[in-house]
Structure 1
Amino acid sequence: MTTSRTTARPRPFGRTLCAMITPFTEAGALDLAGARKLAARLVAGGCDGLVLSGTTGESPTTTDTEKAELIAAVREAVGDRTSLVAGVGTADTRHTVELTRAAEEAGADGVLLVTPYYSRPPQEAVEAHFRAVADASALPVMLYDIPGRTGTRIEPKTLIRLAAHPRIVAVKDCSYDLLGTQKVLAHTDLAYYAGCDEHVLALYAVGAAGCVSTVANAVPGHITAILDAFDAGDTARATELQLRATPLIEAMMAAGLPGTVTAKALLTRLGLPAGPVRPPLLPAGRETADTLLALHAQLVAS
C-alpha cells in the first residue's frame, strides 16, 4: 500500500530545479538563443525552477553584463512558468550586493549565495556576509553550502541563526553532512534542495523541498519522475528510478571532471545548445563524451 507525501515545508523556488549550463557559441560568446531553447526544454521536461549562473553555469567566467542578459533572455523564454534563481555569490560582499540588485532588476525570482571563497572567513563573517546581501534587495535567498569548492562550511548553528532572517529561505546542500542537514531541518523551516544528484531521493525522504540538479540538464523528466514517485507514495518506484540514474550521475558528477564539462559534452552529443566551456576549463575528450552518450541512451531506454 502506498500513501502520498504530505509536508508543510515550503518550496519557495519550486521542487525540481535544474542547475542550467550557460550556452556559448563556438566562438565563446554568450548564446542567448541557445539559452532560451534549453530553458524551454527543461521546463517542458518538468523543471519548475532554473538556477542560472551557478557553478554549472560557469559563473566565475561570465561577466556581470552576461549574467543579467542571461536572466532576461531566460525570463523571456519561460515567462512565469518557472522560478529563476540567479547565482550572485562572489568572494567580495560589495560585488555580491551589486550582482543581487542587478539580478532583481533583470527579473530573477531569487538569488543563490555561495559562501565567500578563498579568503576562508570565520563563521561570524560568513553570517555577516549573508545578512548584508539579504538586506540589499527584496529577493528571497538560497544559501549554497559547498565547502569542497569554497573551503568554508556554513555550519549548522550558523544556518539555524540565519533562518531567522525573513529573506533567507532556502539552502542548496552540497555539504555531504546528512546529520548536519537533518539538524537544520529539525530546527528551522528552511527549504533544503539537494545539490548533489546522488542525494536527490535521500534528502527528499528526510524533508527536503526538492533538488538543484546538474544531471537534469540532460534528463529533466527522469529527475522529476523520482520526486513524483515519492510524492505519490511509491517509494519503491522512486528508489528504482534513483538507482537507475546512478551510472549517469557517477559519470557526470564523480568521474574526475566538473559537471559543467560533462553536461556540455553530453548536451552537445544530443544536439542541444551547449557550446564550449570557458578556460580554465577544458572540454571533455571523445571517449568521455562517448561514454556519457551511451549511459544517457541506456537510461532513457530503460
Structure 2
Amino acid sequence: MSIFSGIWVPLITPFADGEVDHAALRALVRRYADAGIAGLVALGTTGEPAALDAAEQDAVLATILDEAQAVARGAVDAQARAQALPVLVGVSGNHTASMKERIGQLNSLPIAGVLMAAPYYIRPSQAGIVGHFMALADASDKPVVLYDIPYRTGVRLELDTLLTLAAHPRIQAVKDCAGSLDTTLALIRDGRLQVLTGEDINIFNTLCLGGSGAIAASAHLRPERFVALYRALSAGRLDEGRRIFHALVPLIQALFAEPNPAPVKALLAAQGLIRDELRMPMTRAGDALVARLMALEGLDRMEPQTVALSA
C-alpha cells in the first residue's frame, strides 16, 4: 500500500503572544501519533504558512520532524521504531524557479514528500501547469502530492492534466479538493495516483469509491474516530463506517462554517491544547460558532489555555 493512504492531519501552527508555540506544536504531533493517524502535513494551508516568514517556516518544520522522530524512538514496537511518522511538506508559490530552490532545500530532510498546489493568482494554461509541476517533480528527490484546490488558486487541474502528470515517477498522489465526482472517480479508476480527499465532508464517499484516504483538518478533533472510520471502510465494514461518519458530520460542518483554521483553533483552545491565536488577515472564530463547537464537543466553558504551553 502507498504511504499516501489513511488519515493525515494538516497541522495548525499554534501561536502564543504572537510567536510560534513550539511546545504546543510538539504536544499536537504526539497527540495525533498516539491517535493512530497515518501522517502529518506541515505548512499546508491549515498551518497558515503565508503568515510565517522563511525562518519561522523552517523552525515549524524542524519541530514537527523532530517530534515525529522522537515518537518513533519511543515506540515499543520494533517496526514503529524503524520509521518516524511521515511528514508531508506544503510548498506554495507561483514562481517556478523559487519553488525549485525551496524543494532543493527540502531534499536533504527526512520528509515523506512535498504537497504542491497550482500556481495561484496568475491562472496559467493547463500546458503551463504541466510544465510547472514537471519541473518541480524533476527537482524533487521525494514524492510529490498534487493539490487541486481551484477555489484558492483560481485554476483547476483538468483531468487530462492530472493524467499527464501521473506519468512522472515522483508524482504519486493528489489532494482532491476540486469538487468533481467525475474527476475523482476517473483518477481512482486510473489507479496511478493515490486519491486523498481534502474536502472533509467527502471522506466517506471517496473511501467508498476506492480512494486512499484524506488530508482532513477536522481530524484535529476526535482523531481516533477519523482513524476508526478509515479502518472500518478499508475493512469493508460499511455499516460501522456509516455510523461513525454520520456522527462526525455535524462537527465537520461546524469546523468549516468560518474560514479554516479559525474554528479548529477555537476548539483546540477550548480543550486547553493551544491559545486561540491567528495572524492577520485571519481572525478568530465568532462567539456564536465557538459556542456551537463547544456544545458539539460537550464543553461548557473555556479550559485554561496553559496546558500545552510550557516547555
With the length of structure 1 as denominator, give the TM-score of the two structures.
0.91
Structure 1 residue matching 2:163: 3-state secondary structure: helix
Aligned length: 286
Per the TM alignment, residue 101 of structure 1 is displaced from its structure 2 partner at its CA by 2.4
Deviation at 1:132, TM superposition (A): 1.0
How many angstroms apart in 2 are the aligned matches of 1:38 and 1:246? 23
Residues 1:233 and 1:187: Cα distance change in structure 2 (over 3 Å): closer
- Are residue 45 (structure 1) and residue 35 (structure 2) matched? yes
Q: Deviations over 1:165-219 (max 9, x none)?
A: 0100000000110111111222241011010111111101111111100001112
Q: Alignment partner for residue 58 of structure 2, among 65, 68, 87?
A: 68
CA contact (8 A) 2:4 2:212 kept: no
Q: State the secondary structure of the residue aligned to 2:108.
A: helix
CA distance in 2, matches of 1:245, 1:154: 29
Q: Tell me by how many angstroms 1:232 deviates.
A: 2.3
1:28 aligns with 2:29: no
* CA deviation profile, 1:62-83 (whole Å, cap 9, x unmatched): 1222222222211111213311
Counterpart contact for 1:12–1:191, Cα < 8 Å: no
Aligned twin of 1:180: 183
Partner of 1:297: 298
Aligned equivalent of 2:77: none
Mapped to 1, the partners of 2:163 and 2:35 lie a distance apart of: 34
Specify the alignment match of 1:134 in structure 2.
137
State which of 146, 155, 160 in structure 2 corresponds to 1:157. Answer: 160
Whole-Å separation in 2 of the counterparts to 1:231 and 1:13: 14
Q: Taking CA–CA contacts closer than 8 Å with sequence separation of 6 or more, which of the two structures ends up with the larger relative contact order?
A: 1
Deviation at 1:274, TM superposition (A): 4.8
Instruction: Assess if the C-alpha contact under 8 Å between 1:174 and 1:195 holds in 2.
Output: yes
Structure 1 stretches of 4+ with a deviation exceeding 6 A read none
- Per-residue Cα deviation, 1:71-120 (whole angstroms, up to 9, x for no partner): 22111112133110000121221222222223333432210001111000
Q: Distance in 2 between matches of 1:175 and 1:160?
A: 15
Q: Secondary structure at the match of 2:273?
A: coil
Q: Is it true that 1:58 corresponds to 2:59 in the alignment? A: no
How many Å apart are 1:14 and its aligned residue?
Answer: 4.0
Q: Partners of 1:258 and 1:67 in 2: how far apart? A: 21
- Deviations 1:19-52 (Å, cap 9, x if unpaired)? 1111111x22112221111011011112120011
**Is the CA contact 1:144–1:173 (under 8 Å) kept in the aligned structure 2?**
yes
Structure 1 gap segments, 5+ residues each: 1-9
Q: Is the 8 A contact 1:64 1:99 kept in 2?
A: no
Specify the alignment match of 2:8 in structure 1.
Answer: 17
Match of 2:169 in 1: 166
Partner of 1:228: 231
Unaligned runs of 5+ in 2: 70-82, 300-311
Match of 1:252 in 2: 255
State the partner residue of 1:111. Answer: 114
TM value normalised by structure 2: 0.88
Contact 1:12–1:169 (8 Å) recurs in 2: no
**How many angstroms apart in 2 are the aligned matches of 1:243 and 1:93?**
42
